[in-house]
Amino acid sequence: MRKWIIAVASLLLVAGIAAILLIRVYTPRLKQAALVNAQAYLAHRLEGSVTFSDFHVTLYPKVRIVVDDLVVRHKGRTDIPPLVEVKEVLLDGSLSSLLHRKLEISSATLVGLQINTPPRVSGGPPLIHGTDQDLAAKYRFTIREVHADDAVLTVLRAKPDKPPNQWFIHHLTLNNFSFDQPAEFHAVLSNPKPRAEIDCKGTFGPWDAENPRETPVSADYVFDKADLGTLKGLRGTLSSTGKFAGPLDYLAVTGVTDTPDFALRISGHPMALHTDFTAIVDGTNGNVILKNVTAKFLHTTLVTHGEVVDEYPKVKGRTIALDAFSDKARIEDLLLLAVKSTEPIMTGAARLKTKILIPEEELDVIQRLQLDGEFGIGEAHFTSSAVQDKVDALSRRGQGKPKAPDISDELSNLTGSFKMADETIAFSNLNFGVEGADISLSGTYAMDGGQIDFRGKLRTQAKVSQMVTGWKSVVLKPFDGFFKGKNGGAEIPIKITGTRDQPVYGTDFGDKDNKR
């Protein structure tokens, strides 16, 4: 018995020495063959070219596989950056877990991960092709934890001259990743504009083998302390919370935003802005469909819908195209938002409807802003006593009662159309009235400098000679016929020029350009 044990031990010793010698002699060849075969296998599975400079395997004290400089190119394309680049891949597990029927890897660490999503032309073939194989049955494995910190996601554009979008992922963890069940994930990444951190927690998967773009994802997000100052023309600190869910290429997003100190450059009046929104994010091109955005500030509510799209090459950013509507607005809120004056010149209930277009350019928001709409204001009052005195005097003269003490100080039916471009608003069909008079104007207002230039008609119930008393009435009597209006009163050409802080009112006799 003892001799048999010694014989077996001697045989094992010889076999071990032979195995060590064999490994030392042939390991380089075996390793090179394994490297080539692994690259060929991965290239076949990923439908692209796969290379890595080296890999290492250790079995003690735990199983560890290390892959260096992994590079995956989409279908072998060299005209665009690689689909995936990883400086180092570390896979850890136990020998017993690797021998299970369902392979279990305790952790995977991706060092220096860079993902470059290849461009896709609208209507073109999918970037990632599906398979009719049952991946969950064929590849039975689970990775308990996947870690990838300080990764970079670059979204390449279909238009070659369009600058790419980059997302810096500070932290990414996936738990229990496999092909047959959802994986939990936690990601912290930087949003470029407005600059802030986004914290997401949710589930990803299971992987849809037939159509990978329909792989489901669901998560809650927190978007905190975004600096709106990184968007030219805006001020404030925005925070947002919400959730997104759906397939990868068509995510439904719902959420709220709060900006306690929102302001435009041209006004500088901080105010609290709250929005509730629902949107669809098209993962194939990055476009956003805004189904509904309800914005509330001061005593005004504004409802919008539209889209954020990529239109122009060679320009970073996207074009914003919206339709906005409000029947719950206050004119003083809108004026405070848009002008530098500490006290709005007018108060009243407002309604408006407009198209909003903000093209993608390197200018600030106000310089890019384009509007095309119409508005109405009811129960309007001027806050300036000097302006209100002029309105009261106009009402008295319009009624032919220049000395009457009791006059209504309320404007009626202030309506008009407007278009804005290049920081200037052009008004047309601007109509309003006071008791005894109606005014029709057209003209322009410069948002930044405040210059105004309006021309139009003043129509009164009274004749011109009835607007004054004493000898002035006698002098103007012969001119009643010259300024006679359609309804028997007077019709006088007028103009308002100067600036918003120092307007100049007057008649517009002999102005060749006054054809309104």
Question: Minimum mean pLDDT among 27-31, 136-140, 465-469, 473-477: which range?
Answer: 136-140
Q: Is the pLDDT reported for residue 283 higher than 80?
A: no
With bands split at pLDDT 50, 70 and 90, how would you rate the model's confidence at 262? very high
Higher per-residue confidence, 240 vs 16: 240
Higher per-residue confidence, 70 vs 355: 355
Name the residue type at position 468. V
C-alpha R_g of the chain: 36
CA dihedral 321, 327, 328, 333 (to 10 degrees): 60
Distance CA 7, CA 13 (A): 10
- Tell me the average pLDDT across 234-246: 92
In order of 19, 198, 224, 271, the CA distances from 259 in angstroms are 70, 16, 10, 8
Q: Is the pLDDT reported for residue 505 higher than 60?
A: yes
User: How open is the CA angle 481-442-413, to the nearest 5 degrees?
Assistant: 85
Query: Using omega within 30 degrees of 0 as the cis cutoff, is the peptide bond preceding 194 cis?
Result: yes
Q: Where are the beta strands (DSSP E) in 78-182?
A: 84-93, 103-111, 114-117, 141-147, 151-155, 165-177
In a domain, 431, yes or no: yes
In this prediction, residue 221 carries a pLDDT of 94
Distance CA 251, CA 161 (A): 27
Q: Is the pLDDT reported for residue 410 higher than 70?
A: no
- Tell me the average pLDDT across 279-285: 73
In a domain, 158, yes or no: yes
H or E stretch including 405?
none
Q: Is the pLDDT reported for residue 227 higher than 60?
A: yes
In this prediction, residue 161 carries a pLDDT of 63
With bands split at pLDDT 50, 70 and 90, how would you rate the model's confidence at 409? low
In this prediction, residue 129 carries a pLDDT of 46
* Residue position matching structure tokens 């050409």: 493
Distance CA 119, CA 31 (A): 36
In a domain, 189, yes or no: no
Question: Minimum mean pLDDT among 208-217, 228-237, 362-371: which range?
Answer: 208-217
Q: Is the pLDDT reported for residue 211 higher than 90?
A: no
In this prediction, residue 220 carries a pLDDT of 96
Task: Count structural domains, the chain.
Answer: 2
In a domain, 316, yes or no: no
> Which of 12-16, 142-146, 301-305, 502-506 has the largest mean confidence?
301-305
3-class SS of residue 318: coil
In a domain, 26, yes or no: no
> Strand 103-111 and strand 141-147: pairing?
parallel
Q: Number of H helices and number of E strands within the chain?
A: 7, 27
- Tell me the average pLDDT across 391-411: 70
What is the extent of the structural domain holding 61? 44-121+137-181
Q: Is the pLDDT reported for residue 355 higher than 90?
A: yes
Closest Cα to residue 293, out of 331, 266, 320? 320
> Which of 35-39, 167-171, 472-476, 505-509 has the largest mean confidence?
167-171
Q: Is the pLDDT reported for residue 208 higher than 80?
A: no
Q: Is the pLDDT reported for residue 103 higher than 80?
A: no
Percent above pLDDT 70 for the chain: 73
Q: Is the pLDDT reported for residue 25 higher than 50?
A: no
In this prediction, residue 419 carries a pLDDT of 93
In this prediction, residue 191 carries a pLDDT of 80
Distance CA 252, CA 272 (A): 26
Last residue of a domain, one of 181, 197, 217: 181
In degrees and rounded to multiples of 5, residue 69 shows phi and psi of: 55, 55
In a domain, 117, yes or no: yes
Contacts of 448 (CB under 8 A, 6+ apart): 266, 366, 423
In a domain, 77, yes or no: yes
Closest Cα to residue 295, out of 280, 273, 320? 273
Can you say whether residue 298 is alpha, beta or left, with left for phi > 0 and alpha for psi between -120 and 50 degrees? left
With bands split at pLDDT 50, 70 and 90, how would you rate the model's confidence at 173? very high
Question: Minimum mean pLDDT among 110-119, 256-265, 397-406: which range?
Answer: 397-406
In a domain, 260, yes or no: no
Distance CA 345, CA 199 (A): 43
